[in-house]
Structure 1
Amino acid sequence: MTRTPPDPVHHLTRRETLAAGGSLATLALAGCTSLTGGETPAAVSLAGGLQCDNCGMVVEKHPGPNGQVFFADESPEGHENPARFDALKQCLFPYTMEREQRGWTVEAVYVTDYSKVDYDVSGDGQPRRSYISSHVAPESFALAEDLYYVVESDIRGAMGQDFVPFSVESDAEAFVDEYGGRVVRYDDIGPALVGK
């Protein structure tokens, strides 16, 4: 009797594992409850030449964390939800805070989750001259309220020093060990921290 050798085992790369997990997470989040009590809208791709609703720069062409905000009864000028951003500290948070002061209701906020992506830090290694990569695929985003944010680090995004979000606290702490800063939660981010 002849035995057939088993099929070769395919070991997933970290990138394949992250992509699969991100896709599952995006599907799972699509059915979650939003900040307004309804169904949470799913994160979308920010590719395709989309401009930041705060500064006007093309999101995918610049380094750093990206974000998107869905509003309950309002939408950004000139297009449907979500509002999209190429930076968090200088764009997403100020824009969102201003809209909330006008009475807009935030339904969901998504930001880049650097625990879910293979990110790169590039530059000359000098403080304030190194940049973290940008990721615009839907699976690279996570709900902002669930993440840990590295603030006041030496790493820059599209508009300068930015907040770098992670879903895994130990990832955020390791980032601080390498690039400085400190870890805060979403609820800790207010006008005082944004204005620094």
Structure 2
Amino acid sequence: MNTPSHFPLNRRRLLCGCAGLATLSLLGCGQRGDATTSAPAEIDAQSSCSLDGMQLSDYPGPKGQIRYAGVAEVQWFCDSVELLSVLLAPEQVRAVVSVHVQDMGQADWDQPRGHWIDARQALYVLGSKRHGSMGPTAASFAAEAEAQAFVQQYGGRLLRYADIKPEMVDLSGGALHDTRM
């Protein structure tokens, strides 16, 4: 039996309505996520390394953080070498929303807080005499003049992010222990 209706529900109208709701849902999620999850977080007493559980506040040297798409929690790294090793790993397939390291031209080496910069825009000094939480580290800088001054004082080799290869930040120690850099 066919009953008259003011708004007949047919297949086309149902599909268009569902597609419209899905589109609005996706648009809302994208706008909210981009605005709130790309800003760097600040280290607190509970911040611990995602790889080994070390408390970030207990160790010197540059720290790092990655925010992955679809993951609410910041992934912390107690050393910039750990962050670069994960970020540059060929098997890294998770979508990165943002990645930050500390500007060691501004932050206190022994108790670094704040001064976050985009890790992919940073300059790095590898092979210096300064050590981070895991030993030899990649000192990160926003300004080339500060990085050059660091090289003059502590040695090492200045590199741009794009010039760092995975084998240079291998966590087994490899290139980081090379005193010829």
Per the normalisation by structure 1, the TM-score is: 0.64
Residue of structure 2 in register with 1:133 after alignment: 110
1:158 to 133, 143, 160: 133
- Cα RMSD between the aligned structures? 1.8
Does residue 145 in structure 1 map to residue 120 in structure 2?
A: yes
Residue of structure 2 in register with 1:94 after alignment: 85
Distance 2:67 2:133 in 1: 21
User: Is the 1:151–1:183 Cα contact (8 Å) retained in structure 2?
Assistant: yes
SS in 1 for 2:120: helix
Higher helix fraction (1 or 2) = 2
Distance 1:93 1:177 in 2: 23
- Structure 1 runs of 4+ with >4 Å offset: none
Post-superposition shift, 1:64?
A: 0.8
2:104 to 111, 114, 118: 114
SS in 1 for 2:53: coil
Question: Which runs of no fewer than 5 residues in structure 1 stay unpaired?
Answer: 1-37, 120-131
Distance 2:92 2:128 in 1: 31
Distance 1:146 1:96 in 2: 14
Matches within 5 A, 1:1-196: 38-39=34-35, 41-73=38-70, 75=71, 80-89=72-81, 91-98=82-89, 101-117=91-107, 119=108, 132-137=109-114, 140-195=115-170, 196=175
Post-superposition shift, 1:103?
A: 2.1
User: Is the 1:153–1:181 Cα contact (8 Å) retained in structure 2?
Assistant: yes
Post-superposition shift, 1:146?
A: 1.6
Question: Which runs of no fewer than 5 residues in structure 2 stay unpaired?
Answer: 1-33, 176-181
Per the normalisation by structure 2, the TM-score is: 0.69
1:104-155 Cα distance to aligned partner (Å, 9 max, x none): 01111100111233x3xxxxxxxxxxxx323233xx1111112111111011
Residue of structure 2 in register with 1:13 after alignment: none
User: Is the 1:54–1:95 Cα contact (8 Å) retained in structure 2?
Assistant: no
Post-superposition shift, 1:94?
A: 2.4
User: Is the 2:63–2:79 Cα contact (8 Å) retained in structure 1?
Assistant: yes
Which entry has the higher C-alpha Rg, 1 or 2?
A: 2
1:73-117 Cα distance to aligned partner (Å, 9 max, x none): 3x3xxxx3310011011x21223345x725201111100111233
Distance 1:67 1:102 in 2: 16
The residue type paired with residue 138 of structure 2 is F
Post-superposition shift, 1:42?
A: 0.7
User: Is the 2:86–2:92 Cα contact (8 Å) retained in structure 1?
Assistant: no
